[in-house]
């Protein structure tokens, strides 16, 4: 299980997450911030739990590239 979390309020719209993990992230046309696809929102933290092990590598690259460090990725 891979758990991806995005703290969307602090997003600066750099687009790295969408470049490294386009299957999981998109940039919003409304406000230019990142959107974690198929996630659930809980007080500004958007979380996606996926059983797909291949999700870890691209999302981890996106988290490491994020200049404001608002993406976390963990395998459980």
The neighbour count for residue 40, using CB atoms within 10 Å, is 10
* Predicted pLDDT at 29: 96
pLDDT band at 22 (very low <50, low <70, confident <90, very high): very high
Q: Which pLDDT band, with edges at 50, 70 and 90, does 17 fall under?
A: very high
Domain ranges of the chain: 2-75
pLDDT digits (tens, 9 = 90+) for 52-68: 999 999 999 999 999 99
Query: Looking at residue 75, what is its pLDDT?
Result: 96
Instruction: Report the distance separating Cα 1 and Cα 65, nearest Å.
Output: 22
pLDDT at res. 9: 96
By the 10 Å C-beta count (0-12 exposed, 13-18 middle, 19+ buried), 14 is classed as middle
The mean per-residue pLDDT over the stretch 24-36 comes to 97
* Average pLDDT of the residues of the chain: 97
Query: Phi and psi dihedrals of 7, rounded to 5?
Result: -95, 85
- Give the CATH fold of the 2-75 domain: Alpha-Beta Plaits (3.30.70)
């Amino acid at each position: 299980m891979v758990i991806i979390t995005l703290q969307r309020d602090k997003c600066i719209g750099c687009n790295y997450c969408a470049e490294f993990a386009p299957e999981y992230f998109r940039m919003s046309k409304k406000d230019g911030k990142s959107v974690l696809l198929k996630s659930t929102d809980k007080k500004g933290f958007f979380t996606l739990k996926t059983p797909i092990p291949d999700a870890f590598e691209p999302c981890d690259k996106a988290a490491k590239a994020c200049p404001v460090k608002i993406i976390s990725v963990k395998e459980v």
